[in-house]
């Protein structure tokens, strides 16, 4: 009996730690996104306003867009694996595939996806518990 309780306690601890690291990851996602967007604007502003050869302007703009695009893929990956999405209809919690996360319409962290449990599409919220 004693042993069982200890195991249960440990499981609760592990679950808590996972929840906290998921929350941290989602905060990082926002930070990465903001920094990347700001960096893109800075590069574009430099390219538009400073005196430089045309090829350098093009390089700055391309690098600005490319790093932002790459960061978006990283952010979507974080969103896919950190925590779960909760089905609005059956309340099942699930982790979608990367493709599903990438292609789904979304408003913030709420995505319009098909639930693997009830097979219905709904606006499913990101949850970390
Ligand atoms: Zn469902």
Domain residues of the chain, as ranges?
1-82, 84-129
Provide the pLDDT for residue 1.
59
| Across 80-90, average pLDDT | 96
CA 37 / ligand 1 centre spacing (Å): 34
CA 87 / ligand 1 centre spacing (Å): 5
* Whether the predicted pLDDT of 3 surpasses 90: no
Give the percent of the chain with pLDDT over 70.
99
* E strand segments, the chain: 84-86, 93-94, 106-107, 110-114, 121-127
| Across 67-87, average pLDDT | 96
Average pLDDT, the chain: 95
CA 74 / ligand 1 centre spacing (Å): 26
This prediction has a pTM of: 0.84
CA 108 / ligand 1 centre spacing (Å): 20
CA 115 / ligand 1 centre spacing (Å): 5
Q: Which pairs count as long-range contacts for 73-79, CB under 8 Å and 24+ apart, including other chains?
A: 73/102, 74/32, 75/29, 75/32, 75/33, 76/101, 76/102, 78/25, 78/26, 78/28, 78/29, 78/32, 79/26, 79/29, 79/109, 79/126
Residue with the two structure tokens 């919220």: 125
* Whether the predicted pLDDT of 72 surpasses 80: yes
Q: How confident is the model over 6-65, as pLDDT tens digits?
A: 999 999 999 999 999 999 999 999 999 999 999 999 999 999 999 999 999 999 999 999
CA 31 / ligand 1 centre spacing (Å): 31
């Amino acid at each position: 009996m004693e042993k069982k309780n200890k195991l249960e306690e440990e499981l609760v601890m592990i679950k808590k730690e996972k929840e906290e690291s998921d929350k941290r990851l989602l905060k990082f996602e926002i930070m990465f996104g903001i920094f990347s967007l700001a960096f893109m604007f800075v590069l574009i502003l430099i390219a538009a306003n400073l005196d430089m050869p045309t090829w350098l302007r093009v390089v700055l703009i391309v690098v600005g867009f490319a790093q932002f695009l790459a960061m978006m893929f990283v952010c979507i990956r974080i969103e896919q694996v950190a925590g779960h999405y909760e089905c609005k209809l059956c309340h099942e919690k699930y982790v979608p595939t990367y493709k599903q996360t990438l292609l789904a319409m979304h408003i913030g962290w709420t995505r319009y996806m098909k639930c693997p449990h009830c097979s219905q599409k709904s606006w499913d919220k990101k949850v970390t518990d």
